[in-house]
Amino acid sequence: MALNILIITYGSLGDVAPYVALARGFIKKGHAATICTGETFKVLIESNGVQYRYMNDQMTGLINSATGRRSLENLSNIWGFLKVAFNVARRIGPIQQDIVRDSWEAAKSSQFDTIIYSPKAYFACHFTEKLDIPSIAAPLFPQHIPTNEFPALGFPPMQFMGTRYNLLTYQLVELLGGLFGGKHIKDWRAQNDMKPAYTGLDLSSKKSKRTLAVLNAYSGELCPQPTDYASSVITTGFWFLDQKNSWTPPASLVKFLEHENPPVYIGFGSMALAEASELTSIIVDVLGQLNIRAVLATGWGGLQCTDQSSNIYTVESLPHDWIFPKVRAIVHHGGAGTLAAGLRAGKPTLICPIFGDQPFWGKLVHRMKLGPPPLKQTKIQRKNFGIALSDLIENRAYKINAEKISRLILAEGGVEYAVDLVEELVGAGSRNSGPASTQLEVAND
């Protein structure tokens, strides 16, 4: 029987596009799919044939404000996160409250069979408790499921402290989630006549037992699943939103790409730093010194360049699945979606991270010999960027390894696998078909 599925997420394009890809996968199998996220992405969602439900865009506005841009530069580790969180708590609190309210309105708008949610929207598992339907968490990177094998993102590795340290870092992340977002969940539960309950960021369901399963939307070939994950935690592969067939490139870009020397792609997406103009100046100078051609994607302010030259083509944005196969290498901020698209295209990668999961992916790319060591955006100078860019282009091992992992990533079929899993988990127990016959083990060990 057909399922009716709600997906809740918010953030930048990289926080939304994978879920649009998943929704399209459900629709192709005859199910109904709806996404609740910021209004900025309404056109993207509906143009892909997916139903949209409203969520305010205040968080995006805060991130792109002067205060938000300065804050991003201090989010490279957990201590920077705490400092920023306390500094902007007064502004974020009301925004979070509105996001919970808008998401609940979406959850009530139809008889959904399940809610799939980004960890940023972890309040969704409280909605499903009220609605008496299952919820499924869908992280885009390995952050919220405790493991002995490595610490939570943002924490330094400390092997001399043993596995207890690694587990402790996840407990801290869980508690911090409750500290900064728990009040709004408590308020929502009280308003909806629900008993008080644990409000930490508990995707593993050890305490709440609300989440049916966790589907990791990244590649197990790039980041193998820890052996101590419960059987209800499954790494599916990346969820790719292909857009190349619906996009027409400018004739000038097509001509630029016809040159016998393929360009490098450089773009930092929606990561808008306070000193974007200075960063752009450094990049343009290095490209000129090394005589390297480049497509420069300015995004939402990550770079600021209006000058065209014979060696540089500037564009605000373009589909990664269209441009990446046409370039020789890729330089980006390390968002999971951009990383996935670049590696699927089999291209050597240099990651210039700012915060969150980006440093993690940067270190992983270098460890797997897919590109140079990560270079923090706030530390970029002409000399170190020139060295990294030269290494990216000249080291043949990066190209060979990137082509190998491309074939492995393509074979995973992330969206199709995730859709099949949701059908298995929820389909038999949907509103239309009676009790479930099979379920995966709930992660409560």
- Domain of 220: which CATH number? 3.40.50.2000
Structure tokens at 39: 């209004």
Instruction: Determine contact, residues 355/77, Cβ cutoff 8 Å.
Output: no
How distant, in Å, are the alpha carbons of 24, 57, 177, 241 from that of 322?
19, 28, 37, 11
Length of the chain: 445
Domain interval for residue 125 = 4-237+413-429
Measured between its terminal Cα atoms, the distance across the chain in Å is: 32
Q: Which of 362, 357, 356, 359 is nearest to 343 (CA)?
A: 362
420 is a domain residue: yes
* Shared domain check, 121 and 221: yes
Number of domains making up the chain:
2
Q: Give the DSSP letter of residue 206.
A: S
Q: Give the DSSP letter of residue 316.
A: S
Measure the CA–CA gap between 197 and 189, rounded to whole angstroms. Answer: 8
* Shared domain check, 376 and 405: yes
* Shared domain check, 163 and 70: yes
Q: What is the pLDDT along the chain (445 residues), one digit of tens a residue?
A: 899 999 999 988 889 999 999 999 999 999 999 999 999 999 999 999 999 999 998 877 666 655 555 555 555 555 555 665 666 666 777 888 999 999 999 999 999 999 999 999 989 999 999 999 999 999 999 988 999 999 988 888 887 787 899 999 988 888 887 777 788 899 999 999 999 888 777 776 555 566 889 999 999 999 999 999 999 999 999 999 988 777 899 999 999 999 999 999 999 876 556 577 888 899 999 999 999 999 999 876 567 666 667 899 999 889 999 999 999 999 999 999 999 999 999 999 999 998 888 999 999 999 999 999 999 988 999 999 999 999 999 999 999 999 999 999 999 999 999 999 999 999 744 544 433 333 334 333 3
Instruction: Determine contact, residues 33/27, Cβ cutoff 8 Å.
Output: yes
344 is a domain residue: yes
* Shared domain check, 217 and 186: yes
* Shared domain check, 114 and 251: no
* Shared domain check, 328 and 402: yes
Tell me the β-bridge partners of 329: 264
State the pTM of this model. 0.88
Measure the CA–CA gap between 217 and 305, rounded to whole angstroms. Answer: 33
Instruction: Determine contact, residues 425/134, Cβ cutoff 8 Å.
Output: yes
Measure the CA–CA gap between 50 and 7, rounded to whole angstroms. Answer: 11
* Shared domain check, 232 and 114: yes
* Shared domain check, 64 and 209: yes
* Shared domain check, 329 and 306: yes
* Shared domain check, 424 and 386: no
* Shared domain check, 423 and 375: no
Q: What amino acid is encoded at 210 in this protein?
A: R
435 is a domain residue: no
* Shared domain check, 357 and 303: yes
